[in-house]
Amino acid sequence: MTTLQAVFDKARAEDRAALVGYLPAGFPTKDGAIAAATAMVEAGCDVIEIGLPYSDPLMDGPTIQDAVHRSLTNGTRIADVLRTVEGVAKSGAATLVMTYWNPIGRYGAERFARDLASAGGVGTITPDLTPEEAEPWLAASKGAGIDTVFLVAPSSPEERIGKVVACCTGFVYAASLMGVTGARETVNAAAEGLVKRTKSLTSLPVCVGLGVGNGDQAAEIAAYADGVIVGSAFIRRLLDAPDEKSGIAAVRDLASDLARGVRR
Amino acid sequence: MTPKEGTLITPADLAGSGAQRNDPDIYGKFGRFGGRYVPEALIPALDEVAAEYEKAKNDLGFVREFEHLLRTYAGRPTTLTEVPRFAEHAGGARILLKREDLTHTGAHKINNVLGQALLTKRLGKRRVIAETGAGQHGVATATAAALMGLECVIYMGAVDCERQALNVARMKLLGATVVPVTNGSQTLKDAINEAFRDWVANVDHTHYLFGTVAGPHPFPEIVRDFARIIGVEARRQVLELTGRMPDAVCAAVGGGSNAMGIFHAFVDDANVRLYGYEAGGRGADTGEHALTLTQGSEGVLHGARTFVLQDEEGQTLESHSISAGLDYPGVGPEHAWLKDIGRATYEGVTDKEAMEAFALLARTEGIIPAIESSHALAGALRLGRELGPDAVILVNLSGRGDKDMGTAMKYFNL
C-alpha cells in the first residue's frame, strides 16, 4: 500500500508535482472503472480518488453528475466502491475515496473507515463535511489509520483555512474556483493565491483541483502547488468514447499528457 | 422573557405568552439536527447571511420596513375563519382556519420572501435565485424581486414545471427566468441541488432566497422567523374569538415552513398540541409517499442533519405526492427536533384523504384550498373526531387552490 506521505515525498524528490486522478466507482461499468483507473496509474497518476456515487451531488457539474447517475443506474453499492478501491490500490497508487458525507454517516463512520482501510484505501476527501461537523469522522479515521482530506476555497478567509487544515492529514485540497466540478478553458487565477495562503498555515502538501483538463494547465499549477487534481476531463473521455476499450485508451493518453505536464 | 422591541421574534403581539425563541446554537443546531454540511466555498456566504440577519432583526428600521410590507403589500394580518359546516365532518369540533390563502400571491410563502428580499438589499446583492416545487415559492420570489428591482432566476424540476404550468407563466410574467431542472427525479430536491450549484458560482452578487425551513444554517432560523408572524397573529385571533387557546394546531409539512410559521408562537404553550401532516401519497406501505418524519431516518440532505427518505446506504429516495409542494424527501431540522423531543406529532395523509378534504372545504365553505393545505385539513378532520365536539382546532390554510385546478380536474373528472 502506497501512502500519501510516500507519494508526496517521491514527487518532491523528483522536483515535480503529484498527479491525482478522479473517477467514480461503477463508471463506465464496475470493472471498467478499475481498468480505467489502473490505466491512469500506469500512465502516471500518483494518487487515485474513487468517487462514491451519491444521489445528490450538489457540488458537481454536469459531467460528474452524468457519470454518477450512470453508476447508480448500474447498481453501484458501497461494497462495489470498496472493491474498486481494492482493485486500484493493487496498481500501486495511493487510493482515496471521495464522498459526500451522508453515505458514510449512514454506513457508520467507524465501519466505513475500517472497511476502507481493509480494502487498501489510504483516506477520504469529504467535500461537504465542514470542520464543525467533522469530529466523528476524524476520530474514526484516526482509529483506522487513514488520512482525512478537506477542501479550502478561494472565498475562504484565513481563519477558515486554519480550521480546515487542522482537520487535514495527507494533503489539503484547494478548489481553484468558486463553482462546481468540470474542466474549464483556463485555470482560475485565484488558485495560486489560495495555495499561497494555505501554505502559510500548514506544512501539508496542497493540491489544486476543479477545472483542470490538460497538460498545459497541469504544468501551470505544478509551478506553485504540490499536486494537480483532474476528474471531469477523464470522465469526459469515457463519456465521449464509442466503447469502453477506446475510452480507456483515451483516458491513458490524457493521463500521459498530464503526467508530462506536472514534470515540466 | 420580556419581549424586546425591534426584534422580529417578540413584537407586542407576543406579550404575555412567555414564548421563547428556541433558536439554534452557534453551529445552527436544534438539538442534534441542523448544522452545515456544505462545500467550504459556501461557508463565508452563509456566515455573511447569518451576520447580516443578526443585525437586521435587531434593527428597528428593518423590522418596521418588513412589517410595513407585510401590511401594505402582502395583506396582513390575514383573517381567521371559523368553518362550522366543514367541522360537522370533524366530530363537531370547532375548526378555525388561518387564511394565508388570502395573502398577495396566494400562499404563506410571501412572508419569507419579502423578509429575505429586504435582506438581499442589505447584503448589497442584486440577484436572487430560488428553488420551487409547487411554484408558490418561485412566484413569491419573482414577485418580491419585481417589487425590489432584483434579477431573479428560479430553478424548478421539469416534472413540476409541467404539473404547475400556470405558476411557470406567472413567474415569467413577473420577469423571472425559469430554469427547468432535468436531472435526478426532476422535482424539488433536484431544483435545490441546481440552485446550490448556481449559488457557489455566483455568490459574490447573488443571494439564495431559500424557500423553506430546511438547508444549512442560518436558513432554517431565518425562514422560520420571517414566517412566524402566521402563528403570532393566529394565537391572538384564536384568543379573541374563543377566549382560550386552541387544543391543537394543524399544518401540512413538506419542507415545513408554513408549519414552523404557525407552530413557533405555540411551542411554549404546553397544552396546545402541534400536529404536522406529511404527504402519505399513495399510502405508507406503497413506497410512493413523502413521509420523511414518519417513515424516514436520520441523515444529511441539502446541508442539514435531519430526517431523510433514504436507502440503507444513504442514497436519497424519490418521494411522491399529488401535491408538488410536499413532494420532498427531506424536512426542516427544527421539525426533526420537535419530533425528537416529543413536542410535535407528525402523521401522514394520503393523496386520497387530501383530495377529499380539498373538495369538502370547497363544497361546505366556498373556499378552494391548495392541495398542500388540504393535507392539514384532512388531518384536522381526523383529529376532530378524536378530540370530540369541545375541541378547538386551528388549521393553517397555507395557500389557495387556483394553481391546483389542473390536478383537480383530472382527479375529479371535472
Q: pLDDT class for B133, splitting at 50, 70, 90?
A: confident
Chain A residues close to B38, C-beta within 8 Å: 128, 130
CATH number of B30-73+109-224: 3.40.50.1100
pLDDT at A258 over 80: yes
Does the beta carbon of B187 lie under 8 angstroms from any beta carbon of chain A?
Answer: no
What domains, with CATH codes, occur in chain A? 15-258 (3.20.20.70)
Task: Find the range with the poorest average confidence among A215-224, A239-248, B178-187, B208-217.
Answer: B178-187
What per-residue string of b and e applies to A121-135 under the rule 16 or more CB within 10 Å gives b? bbbbbbbbbbbbbbe
- Measured between CA atoms, the residue of chain A closest to residue B297 is A106
Q: How near does any CA of chain A get to the CA of B196, in Å?
A: 7
Does the beta carbon of B184 lie under 8 angstroms from any beta carbon of chain A?
Answer: yes
Per-residue confidence (pLDDT) for residue B20, from 0 to 100: 54
CA distances from A43 to A19, A22, A69, A210, B158 (A): 10, 14, 27, 21, 42
Chain B residues close to A180, C-beta within 8 Å: 197, 200-201
Q: What is the mean pLDDT of chain B?
A: 93
Percent of chain A whose pLDDT exceeds 70: 100
**Between chain A and chain B, how many beta carbons pairs sit less than 8 Å apart?**
115
For chain B, positions 280-339, list CB contacts with chain A under 8 A: 297, 299-303, 305, 308, 310, 312-316
d(CA A181, CA A3): 26
Beta bridge partners, B347, equal: B277
Report residue A85 as a C-alpha cell. Answer: 478501491
For chain B, positions 24-53, list CB contacts with chain A under 8 A: 27, 35-45
pLDDT at A27 over 70: yes
Average pLDDT over residues A16-38: 98
pLDDT at A182 over 90: no
CB contact under 8 A, A128 and B39: yes
Sketch the domain layout of chain B as residue ranges: 30-73+109-224, 76-106+228-412
> In terms of C-beta density within 10 A (0-12 exposed, 13-18 middle, 19 or more buried), how is residue B208 classed?
buried
Chain A residues close to B189, C-beta within 8 Å: 56
Report residue A93 as a C-alpha cell. Answer: 497508487
d(CA B254, CA B110): 17
Do B94 and B393 contact (CB within 8 A), yes or no? Answer: yes
Chain B residues close to A133, C-beta within 8 Å: 27, 35-37, 305
Average pLDDT over residues A52-71: 94
* pLDDT tens by residue, A168-180: 999 999 999 998 8
pLDDT at A262 over 50: yes
- Measured between CA atoms, the residue of chain A closest to residue B34 is A133
Q: pLDDT class for B4, splitting at 50, 70, 90?
A: very low
Catalytic residue numbers of A, as ranges: 49, 60
Q: What is the mean pLDDT of chain A?
A: 96
CB contact under 8 A, A155 and B41: yes
CB nearest to B314's CB, from A58, A103, A179: A103
pLDDT at B7 over 90: no
Chain A residues close to B40, C-beta within 8 Å: 127, 130, 150-153, 156, 160, 164, 175
Report residue B78 as a C-alpha cell. Answer: 390575514
* pLDDT tens by residue, B148-191: 999 999 999 998 898 788 899 999 999 999 999 998 778 888 89
Task: Find the range with the poorest average confidence among A133-147, A190-204, B173-187, B391-405.
Answer: B173-187
Residue ranges of the alpha helices (H) in chain A? 4-13, 30-42, 62-73, 78-89, 101-107, 109-118, 135-144, 158-167, 190-199, 215-222, 232-240, 244-261
Per-residue confidence (pLDDT) for residue B10, from 0 to 100: 45
Query: Do B30-73+109-224 and B76-106+228-412 share a fold?
Result: yes
CB nearest to A101's CB, from B37, B184, B189: B37
CB-based contacts of B315: which residues, under 8 Å, 6+ apart?
A54, A55, A72, A103
* pLDDT tens by residue, B85-117: 999 999 999 999 999 999 999 999 999 999 999
Establish whether the linkage from the previous residue to A28 is cis, with ω within 30° of 0.
yes
* Beta strands across the sheet bearing B177-181: B177-181, B151-157, B127-132, B206-208
Percent of chain B whose pLDDT exceeds 70: 95
For chain A, positions 130-149, list CB contacts with chain B under 8 A: 130, 132-133
Per-residue confidence (pLDDT) for residue A89, from 0 to 100: 97
CB nearest to B299's CB, from A65, A106, A130: A106
Establish whether the linkage from the previous residue to A127 is cis, with ω within 30° of 0.
no
What fold is seen in the domain B76-106+228-412?
Rossmann fold (3.40.50)
Per-residue confidence (pLDDT) for residue A1, from 0 to 100: 80
CB contact under 8 A, A160 and B40: yes
Does the beta carbon of B182 lie under 8 angstroms from any beta carbon of chain A?
Answer: no
Average pLDDT over residues B223-250: 97
Q: Indicate the residue type of B174.
A: L
Average pLDDT over residues A162-173: 98
Chain B residues close to A155, C-beta within 8 Å: 41-45, 203
Q: pLDDT class for A156, splitting at 50, 70, 90?
A: very high
pLDDT at B6 over 70: no
pLDDT at A159 over 90: yes
Chain B residues close to A129, C-beta within 8 Å: 37
pLDDT at B46 over 50: yes
Per-residue confidence (pLDDT) for residue B134, from 0 to 100: 79
Q: How near does any CA of chain B get to the CA of A186, in Å?
A: 16
Percent of chain A whose pLDDT exceeds 90: 93
Does the beta carbon of A65 lie under 8 angstroms from any beta carbon of chain B?
Answer: yes
CB contact under 8 A, A155 and B313: no
Does the beta carbon of A59 lie under 8 angstroms from any beta carbon of chain B?
Answer: yes
- Measured between CA atoms, the residue of chain B closest to residue A61 is B197
Q: Which residue has the cell 378532520?
A: B381
Per-residue confidence (pLDDT) for residue B2, from 0 to 100: 36
- Measured between CA atoms, the residue of chain A closest to residue B316 is A55
Q: Indicate the residue type of A137.
A: W
